[in-house]
Amino acid sequence: MCTIQYIEDCIARSLKKLERSGDAGFVPPKVVLLKQIKTLENQYQSEPSATLLKEIEALKLKYQTSGR
């Protein structure tokens, strides 16, 4: 069973390989979404708000339904 954390780890390893190979110009859309989610989650931890929580949930839903 794949978890989101496992998938995030796989994407992070793949991204690091791309960066080392010098082909870091392309960033897959799912990686962009993950970065946005992480940024908003960090922002939410420092300043909790209902608006941020809704944005995070919307991005997580978009992440789960994109690029299957």
Write out the residue range of the structural domain in which residue 46 sits.
Answer: 4-65
pTM over 0.85: no
Alpha-carbon distances, residue 26 vs 1, 22, 33, 59 (angstroms): 29, 10, 14, 20
Local confidence pLDDT in tens for the 68 residues of the chain: 467 778 778 888 887 777 776 655 677 788 888 889 899 999 999 999 999 999 989 988 888 876 54
Overall domain count for the chain: 1
